Amino acid sequence: MEFKDKIENIIKAAVASTGTETRYREPLFGYASADDPIFNEIK
């Protein structure tokens, strides 16, 4: 299992175990390289 899969599983389990009802859907995950030059433009 990859590290990203572990992170996603932890987050999904935390969301599912809150014991509350919500209209939100399952969390979405996205990844990008920290070396991407666009990160320098984000402030």
Smallest CA-to-CA distance from 26 within 39, 40, 11, 37 is with 11
Percentage of the chain beyond pLDDT 70 is 98
How high is the pLDDT of residue 42? 81
Higher pLDDT, 18 or 33: 33
Radius of gyration of the chain (CA): 15
Percentage of the chain beyond pLDDT 90 is 26
Residue partners of 7: CB distance under 8 A and separation at least 6:
29
Mean pLDDT of 20-35: 83
pTM: 0.62
Higher pLDDT, 37 or 18: 37
- Per domain, the residue ranges of the chain are 3-18+27-41
